[in-house]
């Protein structure tokens, strides 16, 4: 059976942070109509995509999905299990933010089937949390992670952001030191990116905030790789590190070019070489589902060249480009045409060739975008 991942986008949020460009809304309106629409969408796509597939990953993102009541999320999980064949070993992840969830709720999430939790800490520094307009404190972040462990979660991930304005090497190091003291086995570290339409982007354009240059960013990134590797966290993707056996199945579905179905507002799906994405507006999404059973805003069928480019990009950003596997999909001509460039990358310690798998080194990850630009 073909392994497939599912993503559910819950748009409701308690607060909109200055850097966030994900679709989220600060309202309790339409919570029930959204649930009804979501279940209709799940049922609609199951008619076409349930046969011959097994769901190996279910990921609830947002927004802040943990704001929903346990019974609300249980209904969604039930709808998925009714309409799709779900693996006995499915990884079921829920995103949450410190300061928005209690120990009792964490325990109830574990009881209804969530076995992985991703906690949006972003920083353990009080000044950075205030700058990012996060609503939690350092102590609340630590407490949420520890409560998740006590509630029965054995697979815990935290997110951190580096290269923030005024962030020193010491502040970032302290963030990492605090993170690895906690009972986590996965950590995502993201360099701050300015996204159009965010409050932070306007602050930078208005000259109210100044960002570090790319060299400073690269130094922090290099330090991150060295530090986490020494602490037993393996880098399996540009921004993601984990202890052995705790790679995020959902991340790997994306990076290994597997099929994935997504439900909810602004969600993107990729199935059989076709990609489509939903309307962002909650009211538009609900109206479209009620009228058409789907809320597709647009779609595209990838050309062979686009498939090749995406495959190379995703492979090199993660576990590497396996030459044998690549040749089965796309033949040998592209690899032959890039042989000299790959050899130069290997000679300069940007890529290592291990048994026919071309994988970026620490130095290669640091210039990943440049390498991909030259290749594609």
pLDDT at 206: 77
Q: How far is the CA of 287 from the CAs of 34, 111, 234, 291, 294, in angstroms?
A: 10, 33, 44, 6, 9
Q: How many whole angstroms separate alpha carbon 121 and alpha carbon 158?
A: 6
78 preceded by a cis bond (ω within 30 of 0): no
Structure tokens at 95: 């995103």
pLDDT at 277: 97
Per-position pLDDT tens, the chain of length 376: 999 999 999 999 887 776 776 767 777 789 999 999 999 999 999 999 999 999 999 999 988 999 999 999 999 999 999 999 999 999 999 999 998 899 999 999 999 999 999 999 999 999 999 988 888 899 999 999 999 999 999 999 999 999 999 899 999 999 999 999 999 999 999 988 777 777 777 777 778 777 778 889 999 999 999 999 999 999 999 999 999 999 999 999 999 999 999 999 999 999 999 999 999 999 999 999 999 999 999 999 999 999 999 999 999 999 999 999 999 999 999 999 999 999 999 999 999 999 999 999 999 998 999 999 999 9
Adjacency order of strands within the sheet including 357-360:
321-322, 357-360, 351-354
Q: How many whole angstroms separate alpha carbon 135 and alpha carbon 123?
A: 12
Q: How far is the CA of 48 from the CAs of 31, 53, 177, 267, 285, in angstroms?
A: 27, 11, 47, 18, 20
**Structural domains of the chain in order of their starting residue, each with its CATH number:** 2-255 (3.20.20.70), 321-375 (no CATH)
Q: How far is the CA of 246 from the CAs of 33, 117, 222, 321, in angstroms?
A: 36, 12, 22, 21
pLDDT digits (tens, 9 = 90+) for 140-174: 999 999 999 999 999 999 999 999 998 999 999 99
Q: Three-state DSSP class for 242?
A: strand
- Say how many Å lie between the first and final Cα of the chain, rounded: 32
Closest of 117, 113, 118 to residue 89, by C-alpha? 113
pLDDT at 307: 93
């Amino acid at each position: 059976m073909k392994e497939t991942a599912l993503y559910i986008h819950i748009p409701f949020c308690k607060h909109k942070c200055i850097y966030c460009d994900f679709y989220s809304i600060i309202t309790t309106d339409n919570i029930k109509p959204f649930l009804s629409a979501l279940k209709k969408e799940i049922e609609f796509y199951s008619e076409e995509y349930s046969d011959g597939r097994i769901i190996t990953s279910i990921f609830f993102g947002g927004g802040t999905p943990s704001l929903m009541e346990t019974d609300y999320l249980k209904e969604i999980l039930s709808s998925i299990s009714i309409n799709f064949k779900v693996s006995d070993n499915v990884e079921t992840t829920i995103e949450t933010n410190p300061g928005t969830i209690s120990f009792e709720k964490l325990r109830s999430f574990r009881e209804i089937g969530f076995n992985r939790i991703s906690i949006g800490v972003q920083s353990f520094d009080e000044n950075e949390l205030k700058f990012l307009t996060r609503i939690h404190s350092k102590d609340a972040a630590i407490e949420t992670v520890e409560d998740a462990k006590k509630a029965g979660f054995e697979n815990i991930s935290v997110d951190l952001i580096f290269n923030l304005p005024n962030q020193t090497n010491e502040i970032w190091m302290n963030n990492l030191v605090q993170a690895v003291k906690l009972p986590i086995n996965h950590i995502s570290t993201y360099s701050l990116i300015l996204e159009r339409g965010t409050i932070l982007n306007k602050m930078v354009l208005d000259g109210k905030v100044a960002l570090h240059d790319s060299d400073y960013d690269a130094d922090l990134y290099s330090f991150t790789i060295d530090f986490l590797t020494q602490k037993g966290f393996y880098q399996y993707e540009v921004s993601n590190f984990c202890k052995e056996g705790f790679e995020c199945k959902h991340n790997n579905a994306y990076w290994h070019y597997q099929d994935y179905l997504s439900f909810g507002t602004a969600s993107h799906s990729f199935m059989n070489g076709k990609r489509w994405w939903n309307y962002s507006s909650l009211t538009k999404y609900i109206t479209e589902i009620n009228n058409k059973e789907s809320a597709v805003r647009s779609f595209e069928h990838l050309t062979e060249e686009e498939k090749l480019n995406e495959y190379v990009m995703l492979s090199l950003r993660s576990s590497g480009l396996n030459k044998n596997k690549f040749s089965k999909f796309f033949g040998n001509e592209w690899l032959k045409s890039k042989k000299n460039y790959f050899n130069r990358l290997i000679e300069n310690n940007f890529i290592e060739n291990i048994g026919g798998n071309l994988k970026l080194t620490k130095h290669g990850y640091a210039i990943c975008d440049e390498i991909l630009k030259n290749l594609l």
